[in-house]
Chains A and B, each alone.
Chain A
Amino acid sequence: MKKRVVLIGGFNKTKSLATSLIKKGYRVTAINNDTQNCQSLAKIEKLTVFNGDGSKPFILEDANVYNADIAIVLTERDDSNLVICQLCKKRFHVKKTVALISDPKKTEFFYRMGIDSVVCAISAIAGIIEQQTFLDEMATLVPVGEGRIRIAQVPISGTAPAVDKKLWELSLPKEVIIGCVLRGDKSMIPRGDTRILAGDILVLISSDEHEVAAVKELTGR
């Protein structure tokens, strides 16, 4: 059976989430308390749309939230998001609840209140902007473990100080590992005596504090 996802509140986020989740084969329902937003959302094929305030139990009941697999709550207000998630969890036995919050200080409190996954848009976006601004050499970055560990691709240019050095010759911080070297269309797991060449792309696994130092050591910036 298809997994059921309920999206509550939000407009642009709901739109893109709904489209992507439907493509992945989920059964998606959206609840929105703005009539115009609902009409616009209803244009998405296969999306069930309900008009109403998601923090009211009877609206959730109408939308058949009962026993849904995932509820994603995206309204603008933290308090509404908390209440909707709790209603979903306690009254409608939704298996997993995801809440968007705007105040990063309340993340821990939300987890304590039984919400399964808390996404703080502001700190996530601030983190991305910071990376884009200061580490423009990195192609992609994947934060792991609440952002404490990061996996990054670091391209090595011809002028980088690490070029033609063996790995053991580099003085990288201890909490940094070069997990993989991408050379042309080949990838290899490096050893201490692997030589870095210009044009290599290194896959770096590091803690967030040591990332900047490591990138500096490798690329000189």
Chain B
Amino acid sequence: MKQFINKRNGGHIIIVGCGRLGANLANTLSDEEKSIVIIDKNKDSFCKLAPSFGGIILVGDATEISVLNEAEIEKATAVISVTNNDNTNIMVAQLAKELFQIGQVVARLYDPERECIYREFDIDTICPAVLSTKEIDKLLDASQEMEDAG
């Protein structure tokens, strides 16, 4: 794995959860010549990765410290936790931030109400519900303006 990390210079990024978002992100970042390790509990999930994906896949539970060590988390520049379980994402993010002092930690959060836990840990959160709301609101506003103008 060492050789692999040295070869690509764009930083070592760990993605946890190979769902639609995780796989998409891995494909995109891999195309940008970044070294990626993607972790998922279920090995079938990795079929979503593109054939051109040039990173490493790791089957395991990322809330286990031994799995994070295997992914060489101490060298990581960023950890992105996008599993389908909010609690898992919170725990992975806090492990990365507090135990391994990773500079950039991003977690997806389905339930925006849990954000208070993240705030004091300096963890970036992405909340699909909030993003979609804003986007839909924008679209509605735009069509309203069109009507008003017309």
Known A79-B87, A90-B117; contact A106-B94, beta-carbon cutoff 8 A: no
CA distance A83 to B99 in the complex (A): 17
Q: B116 at interface (Cβ–Cβ under 8 A)?
A: yes
Interface string of A68-106 (1 = CB under 8 A from B): 000000000111101100110011000000000001011
Chain A interface residues toward B at CB < 8 A: 55-58, 77-80, 82-83, 86-87, 90-91, 103, 105-106, 109, 112-113
Question: Which residues does chain B contribute within 8 Å of A79, judged by CB atoms?
Answer: 63, 85, 87-88, 90-91
Question: Which residues does chain B contribute within 8 Å of A55, judged by CB atoms?
Answer: 86-87, 114
Question: Which residues does chain A contribute within 8 Å of B85, judged by CB atoms?
Answer: 79
Known A55-B87, A82-B87, A82-B91; contact A87-B114, beta-carbon cutoff 8 A: yes
Q: Contact between A109 and B98 (Cβ–Cβ < 8 Å)?
A: yes
Q: B141 at interface (Cβ–Cβ under 8 A)?
A: no
The majority secondary structure among interface residues of chain B is: helix
Q: Which residue of A lies closest to B112 (CB)?
A: A57
Interface footprint category on B = 20 to 34
Q: Contact between A83 and B116 (Cβ–Cβ < 8 Å)?
A: no
Shortest CB-to-CB span from B55 to chain A, Å, is: 24
23 pairs, CB–CB < 8 Å, chain A vs chain B: A55-B86, A57-B111, A57-B114, A58-B113, A79-B63, A79-B87, A79-B88, A82-B91, A83-B87, A83-B90, A83-B91, A83-B117, A86-B90, A87-B117, A90-B116, A91-B116, A103-B64, A106-B65, A109-B65, A109-B94, A109-B95, A109-B98, A112-B98
Question: Which residues does chain A contribute within 8 Å of B65, judged by CB atoms?
Answer: 105-106, 109
Interface string of B61-94 (1 = CB under 8 A from A): 0011110000000000000000001111011001
Question: Which residues does chain B contribute within 8 Å of A106, judged by CB atoms?
Answer: 63, 65
CA distance A82 to B86 in the complex (A): 12
B91 CB contact (under 8 Å) in A78, A87, A105, A112: A78
Known A57-B114, A103-B64; contact A83-B98, beta-carbon cutoff 8 A: no
Q: Which residue of A lies closest to B88 (CB)?
A: A79
CA distance A82 to B63 in the complex (A): 11
Known: A82-B94, A106-B63. 9 other contacts (CB 8 A): A56-B111, A57-B111, A78-B91, A80-B87, A83-B86, A87-B117, A105-B65, A106-B65, A112-B98
Question: Which residues does chain B contribute within 8 Å of A57, judged by CB atoms?
Answer: 111, 113-114
Question: Which residues does chain A contribute within 8 Å of B117, judged by CB atoms?
Answer: 83, 86-87, 90
Interface string of B93-137 (1 = CB under 8 A from A): 011001100000000000101101100100000000000000000
Q: Contact between A113 and B87 (Cβ–Cβ < 8 Å)?
A: no
Q: Contact between B98 and A113 (Cβ–Cβ < 8 Å)?
A: yes
CA distance A105 to B68 in the complex (A): 13
Question: Which residues does chain A contribute within 8 Å of B87, judged by CB atoms?
Answer: 55, 77, 79-80, 82-83
Shortest CB-to-CB span from B17 to chain A, Å, is: 13
CA distance A91 to B98 in the complex (A): 20
Question: Which residues does chain B contribute within 8 Å of A83, judged by CB atoms?
Answer: 86-87, 90-91, 114, 117
Closest 8 CB pairs of A and B: A79-B91, A79-B87, A83-B87, A57-B113, A80-B87, A79-B88, A86-B117, A83-B90
CA distance A86 to B118 in the complex (A): 10
Shortest CB-to-CB span from A52 to chain B, Å, is: 13
